Structure 1
């Protein structure tokens, strides 16, 4: 029996325990397990985007195998909002561990679209909730509390287990005058005080003051559009409907025409139509056939890809790969977004290529206020703490630097990391143990998960190359992939040398299995003598 299983089985079923499985110490893959009355509940099931060096990998998702060995099933999934680091892994997880899912209408639309992208055949049991709802999931009560963020349909969760209450913020900003949605319900927040614990977003905990309101970007964006020359290509986070709506309203006032480039942009506006009944002003949006007939100064392209994503609309436009839109000297690119850590090179590459073409690039640096964050600053966090008066405070969602900065805001803060198991009680909240959890790697094209070992093999081939030995014992074919031979003659001679090595092995081995292993090891050794690196070698010789 594993240490995790032994520990879980020994927990007091009358006490609430929280197991932090992602998002604590690094960004992405936010997932938190609540354990109460021998039942398991999961809040958010997010993914983390892969690094550039992870060849053919789109994202990381949590591997719940070891956790699920401790429970018969998941009782329910509670999803705070629709960003991928909070809901992106749910389709894969539901395939193995189905359970009722609770989420707002906007999040449900994003989730169902992601199921289609994964090619999943599951038919999830989804319960659409609204802010103000209280639902019972097993032995827990969950109140859905509206909170502004950079995506519609975002909620904090008030989780109640008997007399223990945990306020789980998810991602939020304390915006009293947000664009297009209500502000936080201060009266309700005051009414639930004091809560036992607050689990709090740490993303901007190192920023003093309050996070600027989404409404504050309206005038800056309007002035940018009014003063920019040539065609404008505008890019922001595609999921931020509020920002897209601000841009569309600015374009309508300035009598510009808008072409939409990028599936994610179109999907956001489609969801807005379904959930809010929103439609852009009539005649504002044009299709590709109308682009040549527009004056360049009256054309705005809203493109996906503010982070320089490889197949995004912005990247294709900048590098001249878009079928319908091309840049000219004097055009303007407006980036209404921050650069997510890890994407600096991609964004710099786009900016450099734009400058090469004589295109102006306007960002939050050149035009302060063109972008605001969707995450709480220190002042916002302090205001929420003052309202709900948590007895204990658990910072999550960020690097350890951000978690530590957040801990400074409350005298009874609890430090956690991925794998921390925390007991939550009125008088005492403490880390009882810490566990290691594996993660899975999602293939870029099939969208199927693979283990670390499978991913490591793929990277080994990409890094060191591949040699394949195959065929009849007396007619052996040797193929090389990704190896730095000087020329074709060098490659041909190396293949002949390997055939000679195999002939030698034929006399020194007793069967084909031994011969294939001989061929693999000695071929690898030979190629290593040429290239230093040891490539992957596959030998399939038959009699």
Structure 2
């Protein structure tokens, strides 16, 4: 690496949805743009989320100058605490974004030691060799920015998540004029969101959902339960506006919903019009006087909406004739959980309305026309699609080449771990660094290694066989027949004949070892001898590989 080249290295977010994390290095200076999570997938036993692998940053920790946040969504800030435990550097972000970050840092006991630097849209910060300008963009949450990053060899624009919404419900519209000015000044490379590249046209404004929601409020005669993402401040503002219009009070249920409403109101992005009431007062209102904003729109078992539907929530419940509005998209992988939530709601004899029945949700990511507008505003020398699975990245490249006439060699199609090298005139893909997923158990906020995950998977699919043997301390004599216990082992649980066969195998293994060796050769050696005997027998008869736990007790 020389002082005349810029490295761009995605640690996550390319070739996958989530874990957005982009590294830029020039000379001895590194900045990190966003640090997000990806939620668990099927087959990840006990895993709640995944973070990027920060080994590269740990290895070069003396060069890391700052983390630059574009906005407050979990796929952009969710792994920040895990990163800061490895590399403690200042964190830059807009006021609302940093307010959302604070409680997460506090949970990890990092808040006092973390330097949070507030940046308003339109301001520029200097970090090492980088000059970073925050530019207002529109998205499904508030206080979101693209970044114009000036380096010694040229300017890089990172869009973050965006769409062209000229009439946002909260805050100011995307700063198109500034984007065009930066484009006219000359941009070396554009890194642009690819999420909705497969959708034609332009993504509508958040205001497009108002008519359908207004109709729902108009015809509802009892309680209205609205579940959306707690980060969807535009949508939440619409609910407060409609509540005021139709003479209803608002109850916020769910920790994330309550916290985000409080932060958005404190930072000036939300006007609750004094309609927000304490959840404890839910029972005091007539059903026609209340609207409930509940988190858990993805059917999370412990989410507020699921507990309300199950009538297990302490402060809110639904009854026959109420209306439930699911005003959010279904995140891929959550379809079954959302279906279960809808079924639970129907058991209460309520009306359920989701985005398949009415236009009550709109994406915060730009469609093809938005992507075209961004490319035309920035007019970069090189274009790098980001944020999406490989098909979105590939389609974004095709879109740029076929629709806007970009030469294929001017569009770099990269994935997480690829290293892009720019020298001001040329761009090329260099060596790839190893990037893995790090698995997180949210109950204890700990990282889980691959071995632990493999063990959990084996236990789930193959079961466990426990073999207990007791021997005399001085002679090594067997004090009784081996005890065999199984859990989840197919074809054996409860079958006394097969249990007896496993007991015989264990007994033969013990008898094959001289008594003196049982105590003098070490317990670990004895246990491994017993484990291998059972493993070979089970594998020969069934082809299965259960986890075998030998327990040798010396009395």
Question: TM (normalized to structure 2)?
Answer: 0.89
Cα-to-partner distance string for 1:53-74 (whole Å, 9 max, x where unaligned): 2111111112222453255341
Cross-structure match for 1:220: 212
Match of 2:268 among 262, 276, 288: 276
Equivalent residues in 2 for 1:195-210, closer than 5 Å? 195-210=187-202
Which residue in 2 is equivalent to 1:506?
513
Give the equivalent residue in structure 1 for 2:87. Answer: 97
On the 8 A contact 1:505/1:515 being kept in 2, the answer is: no
- Secondary structure of the corresponding residue to residue 297 of structure 1: helix
**Native 8 Å contact 1:439 1:451 kept in 2:** no
Match of 1:236 in 2: 228
Compared with structure 1, are the counterparts of its residues 119 and 464 closer, same or farther at alpha carbon in structure 2 (3 Å cutoff)? farther
Aligned to 2:287: 296
- Whole-Å Cα distance in 2 between the matches of residues 189 and 20 of structure 1? 23
* RMSD of aligned Cα (Å): 2.4
Cα drift, residue 495 of structure 1: 7.1
Q: Which residue of 1 aligns with 2:438?
A: 440
- CA distance in 1 between counterparts of 2:498 and 2:145 reads 61
CA distance in 1, matches of 2:270, 2:305: 25
Matches within 5 A, 1:112-191: 112-120=102-110, 123-191=113-181
1:420 aligns with 2:423: no
Matches of 2:233 and 2:152, distance apart in 1: 38
Deviation at 1:498, TM superposition (A): 5.9
2:465 alignment counterpart: 467
User: Could you say which residue in structure 2 is the equivalent of 1:333?
Assistant: 324
CA pair 108-332 structure 1, distance change in 2 beyond 3 A: same
Offset at residue 523 of structure 1 (A): 2.8
Q: How big is each residue's C-alpha offset from its partner over 1:209-244, in whole Å with a ceiling of 9 and x where there is no partner?
A: 111101222232122222235322211111111211
Work out the CA distance in 2 between the residues paired with 1:50 and 1:505: 46
Q: Deviations over 1:319-366 (max 9, x none)?
A: 332233333333221111111111111112222333344322211221
Q: Deviations over 1:427-457 (max 9, x none)?
A: 3222123233122110131011122222212
Superposition deviation, residue 118 in structure 1? 3.7
Check whether the contact 1:24–1:397 (CA below 8 A) recurs between aligned residues: yes
Secondary structure at the aligned position of 1:268 is classed as: helix
Aligned length: 531
CA distance in 2, matches of 1:166, 1:62: 23
Q: 1:478 to 1:122 in 2, by over 3 A?
A: farther
Deviation at 1:481, TM superposition (A): 3.5
* Pairwise CA distance, 1:407: 1.2
Choose which of 85, 88, 92 in structure 1 pairs with 2:78. 88
Cα distance in structure 2, aligned partners of 1:28 and 1:37? 28
1:209–1:378: 8 Å Cα contact kept in structure 2?
Answer: yes
TM-fit CA distance, 1:526: 4.5
In the superposition, the TM-score normalised over structure 1's length comes to 0.91
Q: What is the distance in 2 between the residues matched to 1:122 and 1:495?
A: 57
Residue 489 of structure 1, CA deviation = 5.0
Cα deviation, residue 500, structure 1: 2.0
Single out whichever of 194-203 and 405-414 deviates more from structure 2.
405-414
**What is the DSSP-based 3-state SS (H/G/I as helix, E as strand, rest coil) of the residue aligned with 1:42?**
strand
How far apart in 1 are the matches of 2:548 and 2:289? 58
In the TM superposition, residue 284 of structure 1 has moved relative to its aligned partner by 4.2
Post-superposition offset of 1:175: 0.8
Higher mean alpha-carbon deviation, 212-221 vs 69-78, is at: 69-78
Secondary structure, counterpart of 2:329 in structure 1: coil
Is the 2:94–2:143 Cα contact (8 Å) retained in structure 1?
yes
Give distance in 1, aligned partners of 2:355 and 2:533: 57
Q: How far, CA to CA, are the matches of 1:499 and 1:471 in structure 2?
A: 9
Q: Residues of 1 paired with 2:488 and 2:502: CA distance?
A: 15
- Distance verdict in 2 for CA 1:477–1:180, change over 3 Å: same
Q: Deviations over 1:171-219 (max 9, x none)?
A: 1111111111111222221211231111000001111111110122223
Distance 1:165 1:302, change over 3 A: same
In 2, distance between residues paired with 1:233 and 1:493? 57
Match of 2:529 in 1: 518
Inter-CA distance 284–70: structure 2 relative to 1 (3 Å threshold): closer
Residue of structure 2 equivalent to 1:5: none
Q: How does 1:347-362 map to 2 (within 5 A)?
A: 347-362=338-353
Paired with 2:320 and 2:504, the residues of 1 have a C-alpha distance of 56
Change in CA separation of 1:458 and 1:268 when aligned onto 2, cut-off 3 Å:
same
Distance 2:178 2:13 in 1: 28
- Gap change, CA 1:246 and 1:26, over 3 Å in 2: same
Change in CA separation of 1:128 and 1:469 when aligned onto 2, cut-off 3 Å:
farther
The change in CA–CA distance for 1:292 and 1:435 in structure 2 (over 3 A counts) is same
Residue of structure 1 equivalent to 2:315: 324
Structure 1 unaligned blocks of 5 or more: 1-10
Q: Is contact 1:210-1:377 (8 Å) kept? A: yes
8 Å contact kept, 1:118–1:446? no
Name the CA distance, whole Å, in 2 between partners of 1:109 and 1:530: 59
Task: Give SS of 2:548's match.
Answer: strand
